[in-house]
Chain A
Amino acid sequence: MGRYVLRRLLQLIPVFLGTTFLIYWLVWSLPGDPFAGKCGERPCPDAYISLMREKFHLDEPVIVQYLRYLGNLFQGDFGETFRGSSVGDLIAIAYPNTIRLALVALVIEAIIGLAAGIMTGLRGRGFLDNVVLISTLFLISLPVFVTGFVLQIVLGFELGWIKTTVSKSPAPWDELIAPGFVLGSLSMAYVARLTRTSIAENKRADFVRTAVAKGQPQSRVVGVHLLRNSAIPVLTFLGTDLGALMGGAIVTEGIFDIKGIGNLVYDGIIGKDGLVVTGVVTLLVVVYLMSNLLVDLLYAVLDPRIRYD
């Protein structure tokens, strides 16, 4: 087990180097001059451009720039944006918001999705099953921005139940419920369907029949034998989804004005601010790798047949 974890952690190093360089190089090779639009409708003075290029070492070859960046990164310095704010500060402000939003979304999708999936999976065909199938189909077919604007308009403007935008940073938990629902709605539908299928399939599995034949009580059959084994595909999905929720919240963050990293990356790409993009994406990569590792380790807990060594 320990060796396995160590091996997985060591694998992180080349993945980390590869992704950061790729991102750095991609942003660097975006067309357009980062300073061309910085002075309003007038061209920037030559002296300003020269000074900025020198300050950010933009005249050097991309590999030298990247190595310099990496060197600073290992000293905990994420660099500075073209606007003059520290990227580390920006991430420190934005990251808690995104984590909160992703957690709220994850909790909502896990609770509602799992509950709906378990109930329909156990009961089989019937009225409830149809309700869940149709409502999940509805959620899957709606783009996130539609869900977002509809909830904002109906709950925020019409009924006044929620605040239309998140009022401060770090975002208060209660104001994140609606945005979290919007962000998690699509995955919630998938979780419900995945759980339902998985349970329906395992209900007829040999080990469940054996457990029932042994005369075990219904609660133990379902709670230990059925659910634990059905949870594996769902858990895989939730684990990878956490990464996706963190990086893919641009639309939700935009609608509800949450100061998260989704928009930080978006603004960074638009402004050709390579350090912001690389810094945030690096963090996302680490989170993604770690959550995957965690999911893999959880497999062993859920299914005794799986052993790492």
Chain B
Amino acid sequence: MRKPRWIAASSMSLALALTIAGCGGGSSDDSGAAANADGALSIFGTEPENPLIPGTTTEAGGSKVIKAMWTGLTSYDPVTSESKNAMAESIDTDDSKVYKIKIKQGWKFHDGTEVKAKNYVDAWNFTAYSPNGQQAASFFEQVEGYQDVNTADPDGPDGPQQAPEPAAKTMSGLKVIDDYNFEVTLAEPFSVFQEKFGYNPFFPLPDSFFTDQAAFEKNPIGNGPFKFVSRQPNTNIVLVRNDDYTGPDKPKFKDLTIRMFEGAEAGYAAVNSNELDFLDTVPPSSLAGAAYQSDFPDRNGSTPYMGNQTLAFPLYQPQYQNVDLRKAISLAINRQEISEKIFEGTRLPADGWVNPAVPGYVKGQCGDLCEYNPERAKEFLAKSGFTGAITLSTNADGGHKEWMTAVCNSVKNALGIECTYEPIPTFGETRQKISNQQMNAISRAGWIADYPSIENFLNPLYRSNASSNDSTYSNPAFDALLARADAAPSVDEADKLYQEAERMLAVDMPVIPLWNQTAQYVWSERLGNVRMGSDRELDLSTVTVNG
């Protein structure tokens, strides 16, 4: 078979593409064609896992739609990830416990009704109320009165007992002052609470949602720059610009279609023939040899986003309870080489547990424990007295085999102990094993921040009994430090305490940081000013469509 032209790379265009990617991607494509304010744009998407309700959408497929259709109290800067006021006029707090929120007047939902303080409070209460079964309920756990509306099932969902009926329907900490003012009181001070306001569960819901939820699911109504037109399952979701949108960042094109493909390969082919305008996930086959850069010279980009990958030790297994062994393994992993050889440099070796794209990150928190050093690794191994074999494990359906095997080989070569990779068939089974504490191997853990803050990389992952604490790490001193950080009066002071807590992880090493993620994306000839935010979404406010 002849090598196709689109795969064959000419060194010239490759060099050019590399230069452009090096400039941070997102180059504009001003080929003379004028931007069309009424243009249509299609982007790659995946089928939402749940109905399009903000409070139950935390996965990527649905979030893409929700984020385009809603604007919350705050929004995040696509480049710096800083949280800035969007629908909020002002958010004031003196003690990180009582937040006084004033919203802007004149904002309307897509059905024409005005967005009032009540719409926020009602939406938040709905999400937190446990019989509603909303996925994002726990985002309100700091609010006073959350325990009264959200009851836990005493024996888990598998047990015969039912969760008791909550005592209240609304949280006592939420108070509507008037149409444009409301107050949030937390049970305990929580310094970074307002950093969450730009995330899905904090979006407002129109009155019609509470009267007829089924109708809303068929025809969702938001308050953001795009409104819902139609949805064909497994095929597409069509949105159109909301011309009554009063907020900042108005889009510069009209129609937005989110198209579902049978995988990223098909999406890639569609961008190549200009059938699709934007693909946010270049498939592995085109990452190999940086083929996407030669296929799409001037039309590709690479941007770090708020996600990282780690290896979590099952601390409930006796053989992994030795901290020196855990440090030895961390020192034995050659992150730089694996990133270059396996990932074509699309992973950035981690120097800590927090992703560099979020506010609060500081360099080098892991110290030299995250640097490849076979001699020191051997010293730690000797100190630990560990003899035997280690196993790595993760889901086989996620394309992790190559790098997991490479990590294993790196450990094997550096430490001289046996290391095997044992895949588990599906992601679902892997999660089940982890949550039932039946994992007997070191497992991959991935985390993509819900909202940009150092706190989101620590509290949900390493606090005792936290929701995503895969390793079951528990350290009272660490918990106490996080509690102090939560209670700090300002975000800056809180960040300092969180950073101190992060350094404690280097002492205990419950989880080995591996690398931070970058996203590779390509676009069609029609787009200009393409930019991807650190939330891994196309910046819909800057992109232009030609013709």
Contact = CB atoms under 8 A, between A and B. Distances in A.
A156 to B, nearest CB: 7
Given A83-B48, A270-B426, A46 B163 contact: yes
Interface stretch (A5-13, A157-165, A204-212): A157-165
B217 interface: yes
A37 B138 contact: no
Interface size class of A (residues with CB under 8 A): 35 or more
Given A47-B131, A158-B4, A254-B262, A36 B467 contact: no
Contacts of A190: none
A43 B468 contact: yes
Contact of A50 (B163, B263, B275, B445): B163
B428 A37 contact: yes
Interface stretch (A195-203, A216-224, A255-263): A255-263
A32 B426 CA distance: 8
Contacts of A51: 131-133
Contact of B269 (A90, A152, A258, A270): A152
Interface in B258-283: 261-263, 265-267, 269-270, 272-273, 275
Contacts of A167: 275
B36 interface: no
Nearest to B2: A154
B270 A164 contact: yes
B468 A84 contact: no
B137 A253 contact: no
A46 B159 CA distance: 11
A248 B314 CA distance: 41
B232 interface: yes
Q: Range of interface residues on chain B?
A: 35 or more
A85 B431 CA distance: 25
A94 to B, nearest CB: 7
A60 to B, nearest CB: 14
Given A153-B6, A164-B275, A257 B156 contact: no
Given A38-B59, A83-B47, A165-B269, A47 B5 contact: no
A157 B6 contact: yes
Interface in B139-194: 150, 152-153, 156-157, 162-163
Contacts of B267: 257
A40 B137 contact: no
7 contacts: A42-B58, A50-B153, A94-B234, A164-B273, A254-B262, A259-B235, A263-B234
Interface of B: 1, 4-7, 47-51, 56, 58-60, 130-135, 137-138, 150, 152-153, 156-157, 162-163, 217, 232-235, 261-263, 265-267, 269-270, 272-273, 275, 397, 425-429, 431-432, 435, 445-448, 460, 467-468
Given A42-B467, A44-B135, A47-B130, 14 more contacts: A31-B429, A36-B428, A38-B50, A39-B58, A40-B60, A46-B152, A47-B163, A48-B137, A53-B157, A83-B50, A85-B234, A90-B233, A157-B6, A270-B397
